[in-house]
Amino acid sequence: MERASGVLMPVSSLPGRVGIGTFGREAYDFVDFLARTHQRYWQVLPLTTTSFGDSPYQSFSAFAGNPYFIDVEDLVRLGYLCENDLVVLPFGNDPGSVDYGTLFRGHRALLERALPSFSAAPPADFGEFCAANASWLDPYCEFMSIKEGLGLKAYYEWPKRYRSRGEESAALCDRHPERMRYHQMTQYFFYRHWKRLKGYANERGVLVIGDIPIYVSRDSVEMWAAPELFRVDANGAPVCVAGTPPDQFSSTGQYWGNPIYDWAGMAEDGYGWWVERLRASLKLYDLLRIDHFRGFESFWSVPFGAPDSSFGHWVKGPGSDVFDAAAEQLGKLPIIAEDLGFMTPEVIAMRERTGFPGMRILQFGFDAEGDSPDLPHRYVSNTVAYVGTHDNETATGWLLDSATPDAREKAARYLALAPGETVAQGCNRAIAASVSDTCIFRMQDLLGLDNSARINTPATVGKNWRWRMLADAVTPEVEAELSGLTVTYYREAGGQPPRLAE
């Protein structure tokens, strides 16, 4: 990777009219901001559908996109909606936070208003889209249609005759073609609008870093339509589920509950499902961040039904074989390895064998005792440097809420803060100055926000994924500071030298 920088900003956190960030005008404005400040990358969180808890890391599908991100103003321009539809339906009243309960009702009602006119006059390429994506689109639309017909219950709570994809489930879907068409329509617009937005970014020299979770949700179309991909019992229930051992976030570990892949079975066909997943993801993004990369070397396996994740144990994974198989078909893989958590020599060796850059988190360096590898003087070039990820406190929030006196003193000494410089500014400067080929700034840190802007607190449910940037948050001063960091530390897109003041 060339020496460059970028910004981590979830699409959901963009400002806008419909209660959540979208692929609409505000996303194009954000791309323009990145281009003006010489950024090479826009890093986003997973763009897949969300389920209970609203986490983008717990999706109904590994391939389907989140309908919340559709540019509804484009549907007005196309005549499928009218302007008044965007005014009369509820989407939430706080421009700085996503109200998922209100959004769930209002946004669905909005898109359903577009369905009759869409069905009467679909776009010319709609049929081509459905045919090209049938391998994942058809089962996804069936899965969601049945789920909605059964009160949104998890698929494993459905009547037995519908718990696997077959004639009974197909017959039920045939009786409700409007549900099928709704999901076809929303996926069509998701992919149409994202392709247009990504193209706009690429034309301006901005590349998109996507994020794909290693696992899928238990309540997912993959578990319903392709249970052979996972370790399941005779009734289709998981034998074991994913999590993490006890760590700094939780004394009992994190119980994720995702089904574990049948890695031995996947190996028999050359990891075909993973190859197709990576192929599809590389059409959506320019680079991929693989979440929980260490799980390919070994993963924390928890017996299904255990009280918490502390009952789990480590199990060997497929190692780099998955990526070797994918590279044979897809070529060189532009992947960033999320190599955080409990690292072992084996995980490090796997990462080095792939050649993927790993991640360094400055905040961890200040919280650790002694000479931490997360402090910039320990970085190597083939890494991506962050102050923190979406799972961490903001830099300001860390200083105010959880940093120990020793950690605060360590940070102040290490950063050598100038008079008037905040800890967030000092942290941003430190990762920009590091030898890491890439540094990614969090938008909240560029704005100097406290933990009210935190994206996610691991091992908690109910108050995450809500933060949204206010429409007037990006000031000329914010732009000047980001541009200054980027140019001064030779991260300007295109490799231009710093411009000195005259």
Among 338, 437, 445, 492, the active-site one is 338
Report the distance separating Cα 167 and Cα 172, nearest Å.
9
Strands 298-303 and 240-244 turn out to be antiparallel
Report the distance separating Cα 15 and Cα 120, nearest Å.
32
- Residue 376, token pair as written in the block: 């910039």
Amino acid at 18: V
Helix (H) or strand (E) holding 259: strand 254-259
* CA 437, chain centre distance (Å): 22
Report the chain's terminal Cα–Cα distance, integer Å: 32
- DSSP reduced 3-state for 456: coil
Nearest to 57 by CA among 248, 269, 259, 211: 211
Among 391, 450, 479, 481, the active-site one is 391
- Annotated active-site residue 338? The verdict is yes
Cβ neighbourhood burial of 461 (10 Å; 0-12, 13-18, 19+): exposed
Report the distance separating Cα 365 and Cα 386, nearest Å.
11
- DSSP reduced 3-state for 390: coil
* CA dist list (Å): 361 to 57, 200, 320, 456: 20, 30, 24, 16
Q: Are 260 and 312 in contact (CB under 8 A)?
A: no
* CA 117, chain centre distance (Å): 32
Strands 41-43 and 207-212 turn out to be parallel
Amino acid at 455: I
Task: Give the pLDDT score at 343.
Answer: 86
- DSSP reduced 3-state for 359: strand
Strand 41-43: give its sheet, edge to edge.
335-337, 287-290, 207-212, 41-43, 4-8, 438-442, 383-386, 358-361
Report the distance separating Cα 184 and Cα 130, nearest Å.
7
Report the distance separating Cα 470 and Cα 11, nearest Å.
13
Q: Write phi, then psi, for 439 (nearest 5 degrees).
A: -125, 140
Handedness of CA 165, 167, 172, 174 (dihedral sign): positive
Nearest to 230 by CA among 160, 157, 304, 329: 304
One digit per residue, pLDDT tens: the chain, 502 residues?
Answer: 789 999 999 999 999 999 999 999 999 999 999 999 999 999 999 999 998 889 999 999 999 999 999 999 999 999 999 999 998 888 998 999 999 999 999 999 999 999 999 999 999 999 999 999 999 999 999 999 999 999 999 999 999 999 999 999 999 999 999 999 999 999 999 999 999 999 999 999 999 999 999 999 999 999 999 999 999 999 999 999 999 898 776 789 889 899 999 999 999 999 999 999 999 999 999 999 999 999 999 999 999 999 999 999 999 999 999 999 999 999 999 999 999 877 899 999 999 999 999 999 999 999 998 999 999 999 999 999 999 999 999 999 999 999 999 999 999 999 999 999 999 999 999 999 999 999 999 999 999 999 999 999 987 888 999 999 999 999 999 999 999 999 999 999 764 433 333 3
Nearest to 116 by CA among 182, 174, 186, 191: 182
Report the distance separating Cα 132 and Cα 180, nearest Å.
17
- Residue 328, token pair as written in the block: 């044979």
Report the distance separating Cα 216 and Cα 190, nearest Å.
20
> Which spans in 234-361 are helix H?
263-268, 272-284, 321-330, 345-354
Cβ atoms < 10 Å from Cβ of 120:
8
- Annotated active-site residue 85? The verdict is no
- Annotated active-site residue 321? The verdict is no
Helix axes 423-433, 405-415, angle to 10 degrees: 50
Task: Give the pLDDT score at 247.
Answer: 77
